[in-house]
Structure formats: structure tokens, C-alpha cells
Chains A and B, each alone.
Chain A
Amino acid sequence: MTLMVHPAAFYESESLLQHSQKSYSRTDPNDKYMRYLEEKPALLVLTDDQGTILHSIVGKTSWKGNVFPPLGEEFDLGQLYARQKTGAASAAVIYQLDHQNKRPMTPYVPLLVFDTQRAYSEEVRNAGTVAKAYLVVDKYEHYSSEDITLWPDELWQGQAPLDINSLPEGVSYLMVSTGASHSDNAVFLSDLHLDPNTHIIRLVNDQMALCFPNLIGDWSDAKAQMMAIIADFPYVGHSYDEVVAKETPPVV
């Protein structure tokens, strides 16, 4: 087996809370060139399908490691039940494991979070219908995570369409999906139609969380592997009935 690296290593690598090469993290003049996404100034820019900037807001990106991202069906093992014994009761009872252990049955991959403290109505730049969203990250830290006016005008002001393919050096982008609230999108909006004259609150969340389950390694068959192990494991199942069914006829 070659050394298998967990996506959690990216959180360890970048997070200022962790210890990787801490002797120069944040203190070295070149630190900003060795740290790629943690604590970087960033813009969230929403455009219509012609690239007209409808909304732009300033914030910063950081890695978050202490949450289980909702990776969805592709990775979630669902509920898990097992026959267990607690205390002095003579018979072992079937318990639901994911409730008992207070963690979802999903992998622990890190989240990239865009945080903004700002949500003011004047940040609606033009009227239109949101079609695209870009997270624009300032990797070399030329600009600001608090003052949008310190960024180049063409990236946020909305007087000309956004040209995402000609960003300044050290600035790159990630296209993210948008939709109305409660949809499966990175950016939730209360309404996809924006108008500077009428709209005040647009983002339902002030935090945008992005996950990359295959950041290192291809884990696309991991769920199938786990399901096979669970299927083969005595007195464990995805439901109460499944645990009971494994016991009939009784396994000795």
C-alpha cells in the first residue's frame, strides 16, 4: 500500500489553529505565498447570464475542520443500528448508533468557508436575475477582506461586465452554484431577482461553505465499500428490522 493521505491533511496544512510548520506561519514575509486559501481576502460576485455584476460582497476564506459537511447521498451511510448492552440489563438492546455518538455517518473532510460581515443593500450593483456566482480569491493578499473599494473596480463595481478570465496576478476564482433559499446551492438567496431599489437582504446565510470530497484521492467508491463492511457485520444494520433479520436464523 502506498501512503494514503486523508483530505483532512489540507485543513492541517493551512489552518492557523494547527501545527504544520508553525515556526513561520503568519510571521514570515513570504507566508502569504505559502498559504493558499486560509485567511485570504475574497469577493463573492453574482452576475446575470451576460456577466453583468448584480451583487458583490467582500469577505475572507478559511478552512473549517470541526464540522461534518453535508456531502449528501453519495457519501452518507444513513442510519446505523446495532445490538448493544448498556448498564446491568440482561439483554442487549438495539440502539441507533448515529444518535448515540452524535456524529453523522459521513467522512470528515474539511470545508472551505467564505465569511462576510457585510450585508448592506447598497451592494446590489445592478438589477437583474442571478445566473452565475464566483468566489474570487486574492491569494497574494494584495487587497482587503473588509473594504471592497480597495479591490480593482472592474471586479465589483458593476459598471462593465465581469471578465472572469482576466484577473490580476495571484487572484483566481471558483464558480459556485446559486439558487433560491433551501435549494442545494452554495449561495442561497431569498430571491434570484435583484434590484438595487427594492432589495435589502439577499444572502440567506452569511457564510458559504464549500466541500471537496475528492481533494486528494478518488473516494467515489468509499460508500459502496462501507456498505459492504456493514452488510457483513453481525448485529449491525441500517434499521431495527435489518438487525433483527441478521439474527434469524440465529448467528452463533
Chain B
Amino acid sequence: MAETFDINSLLSNEELQRMAMRPFSPSFYRQEDLNQVTHGANDFTLRFHFYTGRVPTPAEFYYGMYFDKKGQSHSDVGLSMPARYCGYMSLITSGKSDSSYGSVGPHAKMSGMQHPAGKEPASHRDDFTAVPVNAQADLSWLTDISFSVSNEYTLSSGELNALKGYVTAGKWVGEQAPTFFFLTKNHNAPVFTQCNVKTPDANINAGVVSYLNTSYIERRPLAMGTVGGFGSGATLELSKGYDFSGVISPISLRAQCQIT
């Protein structure tokens, strides 16, 4: 067993806040929509991976182990995380956009990464400019996004057809919509190893345990939140697409986290 340590003599809370912010707040962007897919591959991306079914507990998210038993999502069987995947959309900073991608600037206003005063990055590509920091923001603001209300995203690579089939067959339990999302830096969905738990005699799938496959470090969920319609109080509210249509318009995402 390794011992655990108090990190505060090594890093101040301010430094920890900046570390936590870095994956979720962009530094540079291309303000105009250039639709050039080749640009900005190494710059900031934020991928929203949407799932449906029972919202995992914080502990499941922490362990990377997700449980779904018969009756929680589907009335007859348990469903794996990939079976509950609704697809992804992305925010990037390169000016590119297509049906699943939006760009910071034209399609979403984001508050920029807060660097230590006087120690901001000084060099970057000529055609990129610094993303301004929201005047209200302090170091607790991990991310702050206002999506353009007119912009729609088509969720890509999900299992919406199968999910709609469960609804048609009268087998779907709960909300017929994405219920939670993960943020990652990679457009590929997190990878899971699934364990189908069977009844002893009938061999019916009574539940599924989905383990995050940690070989794919770059696909690990970095954050999790709930999804809901306008006014629902969910982490991410949708003005359109709180259903299995796969075409969504998110409203905003502001996440604050005070490290104490």
C-alpha cells in the first residue's frame, strides 16, 4: 500500500485550480469560421460524450466501474455503457465546424484559460489569438461556455437507432433522452470492458458491469455531468434535442470548483 499525502506544501490551492482548469478552458482560438479541417489539430478540444439510462453515482465515475441491472435502463436486461451511448459533439478552437463540431468564437463563447499574471503563453501560431477571460471569472471557474442558440449539433457514432428500438418495443425504462455526459479530449468514446451477469439457469442477462478500459488513457472521462431540458437544473441544459433525435442545441455549461 502506498501512503497518501497532503499536497499543499508542494502546490498552493491557486496552482491546483489552474491545473484543474487547463483541460477545460482554451488559451487560443481562431475567431472566424474558416471551415478548414486541417487546422488546429493540436489545439484545444472538448468532447461531449452523451449517454442515457441511469445516471452513475459519483463513486462509479471515480472508480470507472458502471453498473446497470435489469430494469434500470431496459426492462428485460442490463445494458453496457456502449449500448447506452448516444454519440458525441465537440468544441474546438481551430475555426472548423461541421455537423458534430462547433468552434469557440463562431458557435460558442468560452472564457479563456487563466494563466498566472505576466506568465501567459507568449508564442503561438500567428493566426490564433488569445481567448478573453470572462470579466466575472475567478480561479474557481473551470469552464464557462455559452453556446450559440441557433447552432445544432448532430450526435455522432451513437447507438440511437437501437435505443429508439427499445422504446418502440416498450422495453425502455426512464427518460427517452441523453441523461448524462462525459468530457474527454478525444473524439473516440471511452472504451469499456463489459461483464454480462447471467441468471444461473435461464442464462438471461440480468445486469452488466462496464469497466473503463484504461489502456486508452486519452479517452478517459475527465468530468461528468447530467443532461436535461431547459430549466431542468441539469449540468448541461438543452434548448433542443432532449430526446433520442440525436440533434441537439446546448445552452450553457459553467462549472466552478473551489479547491480547499
Contacts and interface: CB of A to CB of B under 8 A. Distances in A.
Nearest to A75: B63
B259 interface: yes
User: How extensive is the interface on chain A, given as a class?
Assistant: 35 or more
Contact of A234 (B207, B211, B253): B207
A108 B23 CA distance: 17
Contacts of A18: 185, 217-218
B2 A219 contact: no
Interface string B52-72: 000101111111110101100
Contacts of B36: none
A137 interface: yes
Given A3-B142, A3-B235, A222-B62, A20 B23 contact: yes
Most chain-A Cβ atoms within 10 A of its Cβ — which of B5, B16, B143? Answer: B5
Contact of A235 (B123, B207, B212): B207
Contacts of A213: 4
Interface of A is mostly: loop
User: How extensive is the interface on chain B, given as a class?
Assistant: 35 or more
A219 B59 CA distance: 7
A210 B5 contact: yes
Nearest to A66: B217
A72 interface: yes
Contacts of B91: none
A226 interface: yes
Most chain-B Cβ atoms within 10 A of its Cβ — which of A23, A65, A210, A223? Answer: A23
Interface in B96-130: 113, 115-116, 119-125, 128
Interface of A: 1-14, 17-24, 27-31, 33-34, 36-37, 65-66, 68-73, 77, 82-85, 90-92, 97, 100-101, 103, 105-108, 135, 137, 172-177, 184-186, 209-217, 219, 221-223, 225-226, 229-230, 233-236, 247, 250-251
